[in-house]
Structure 1
Amino acid sequence: MPKATPDTPERIRAADGWHDPAEKLLFERLADLPPGHPAKEQIRNDLVVRHQGLVARLARRFLNRGETLEDLLQSGNVGLVKAIDGYDVARGHAFTAYAVPMILGEIKRHFRDTGWAIHVPRRVQNLKMLVHAACEELGQRLGRRPSPQELAYELDVTVEEAEEGLAADEVYSCLSLDAMISEDNDRRDDSAVAQPDTDLELVVERITLWPLLNELPEREREVLLMRFFGNETQTEIATMLGVSQVHVSRLEAKACGELRRHMQAA
């Protein structure tokens, strides 16, 4: 009879779901310390240093969009600290699956707050968004750019406020955070032209899909979230979870097949 292979640290780590056992100990110690304990800040700093590679990788996706890498890293680290403070190690979820959406959210918030040619108050920024949306809707209905008076009537604001929103819209400049920009920036601007909304066909599928995600095993759900919402590659996910790329591929295929089966049954 062949002898059973004893569990190595690598086996224990893969089964436990932690690529670095020392990192889990840091999170457990952080959770055990009472608020205000002097050691909490040092542990938080250690965790921040450990995840600088993740922040840098996510921040580089937004280069060449008008913001420096330093600013993007700073915003990403704000999201990282929030993720560290809000993470519950007792739930057993992979920290990276929890942290990636928060880091991306802070980077995108940085663009929303700083993507202006001049600084304007938050009230005017909100007014700008209302006026911009109303301009597009009225422009489609009227076949021309609406006047400040028409915007004021549509939004139930004063003409002065409509003009203020229009002025803010003119100084605002921001590239899409979701669309890839070509190197020569040779793109046609079709933003003011009505186009069929193909996403409407997916509404029912999305409504059906979300509850099904919660029924998947935890590890398969984490892989799908990192793969399709965090835009991570299978290799990157494998590194984060401490497993092989082949294993990640199998988990992804199994989860997608299960979701597809339930969607077809519905």
Structure 2
Amino acid sequence: MTLAVRHSTAAAAAADARATELVNTMAALPLGHPDRPRLRGQAIEAWMPMAKRLTRRYANRGESFDDLLQTAAIGLIKAVDGFDATRGVDFVGYAIPTILGEIKRYFRDKAWTLRIPRRLQELRLAIAAAQADLSHDLQQAPTVADVAGRLGVSEEEVLEAMEAGHAYRAVSLSAPLGDGEDSAISDTLAAEEAGYARAELNVALPPALASLDNRERRIVVQYFYGNQTQACIAEQLGISQMHVSRLLSRALKNLRGQLSEAG
């Protein structure tokens, strides 16, 4: 790793430490404390780079980047105001789902049809072919892990492409079920709101993350939400990349177990 990269990594780590200190200090103060508004403003400003990084994931999908960034900032403000350090989850682990949830709600409420990135379109086609091949080879329906292994991508990328497929074509809820049918698609919809499952996951995820030790939790958050490579994380923690990989695998196994029990 070059000296410039090392310097950049150290600077980023120092900035994150300072931002964490600000939000923890603010959260520890009572609501009426005179220093709280000042610390709140500084904490929001310190964490805005993270909000920008998360916003870039949703760029080029037909919505203005500035509008998306403003939405992410709203999510960040909600995270800063709602953070409780006594729950055992660090701020990043709490803030990232809050910000991403706000962005996804923006698309749900404001965007009629998402423009699917080409890489997801191509991956979606590859997934369909891999599923067909694996079904023949395994003589059973392949899992997400099976498909990810066959294509050499992460399970998260497979799930993202599969989810993107649902936005491929919009159909009116008033459309008839079939030729000559009097019933519309809306008549078949269950009364249960689809957001309930997402809300339950948002409740279950923080305790699941809290079950990990500090190092495992940091690795999970930086890898999946901070878009950092295993090599970069290893450099920050002072351990080997292989060790990071082992810790990440163990943490994901524990998280799956926690979420399975919660469900």
TM-score (structure 1 length as normaliser): 0.50
Q: Are 1:18 and 1:24, in contact at CA under 8 Å, matched by a contact in 2?
A: no
State how far apart, in whole Å, the 1-side matches of 2:207 and 2:21 are: 33
Matched, 1:150 2:146: no
One-letter amino acid of the counterpart of residue 49, structure 1: E
One-letter amino acid of the counterpart of residue 75, structure 2: G
CA RMSD of aligned residues (A): 4.5
One-letter amino acid of the counterpart of residue 115, structure 1: A
Query: Which residue of the partner structure matches residue 72 of structure 1?
Result: 68
**1 or 2 for the larger relative contact order (CA 8 Å, sep ≥6)?**
1
In the TM superposition, residue 156 of structure 1 has moved relative to its aligned partner by 8.8
In the TM superposition, residue 56 of structure 1 has moved relative to its aligned partner by 1.0
Greater mean alpha carbon deviation, residues 104-113 or residues 215-224: 215-224
Alpha-carbon displacement from aligned partner over 1:108-166 (angstroms, at most 9, x marks no partner)? 1111111149xxxxxxxxxxx9964x96xx85xxxx4674x212794499xxxxxxxxx
One-letter amino acid of the counterpart of residue 256, structure 1: S
3-state SS in 2 of match to 1:227:
helix
Select which of 29, 36, 56 maps to 1:60: 56
One-letter amino acid of the counterpart of residue 66, structure 1: G
Query: Which residue of the partner structure matches residue 233 of structure 1?
Result: 228
Larger Rg: 1
Tell me, which stretches of 5 or more residues in structure 1 are unaligned? 1-13, 118-128, 158-209
Q: Are 2:220 and 2:251, in contact at CA under 8 Å, matched by a contact in 1?
A: no
Alpha-carbon displacement from aligned partner over 1:57-110 (angstroms, at most 9, x marks no partner)? 111111111211111111101111111122223455432222111111111111
CA gap of 1:238–1:90, structure 2 versus 1, over 3 A, is: farther
TM-score (structure 2 length as normaliser): 0.50
State how far apart, in whole Å, the 1-side matches of 2:46 and 2:255 are: 39
Greater mean alpha carbon deviation, residues 108-117 or residues 211-220: 211-220
Q: Are 2:75 and 2:102, in contact at CA under 8 Å, matched by a contact in 1?
A: yes
In the TM superposition, residue 253 of structure 1 has moved relative to its aligned partner by 1.8
3-state SS in 2 of match to 1:243:
helix
Matched, 1:250 2:243: yes
Where do 1:77-92 residues align within 5 Å? 77-91=73-87
Identity within the alignment, %: 31
State how far apart, in whole Å, the 1-side matches of 2:33 and 2:187 are: 54
Alpha-carbon displacement from aligned partner over 1:6-54 (angstroms, at most 9, x marks no partner)? xxxxxxxx9xx98655434423431233223343222111011111211
CA gap of 1:40–1:62, structure 2 versus 1, over 3 A, is: same
Select which of 105, 114, 117 maps to 2:110: 114
CA gap of 1:90–1:116, structure 2 versus 1, over 3 A, is: same
Query: Which residue of the partner structure matches residue 10 of structure 1?
Result: none
Aligned residue pairs total 174
State how far apart, in whole Å, the 2-side matches of 1:156 and 1:112 are: 18
Tell me, which stretches of 5 or more residues in structure 2 are unaligned? 1-9, 114-169, 191-205, 257-263
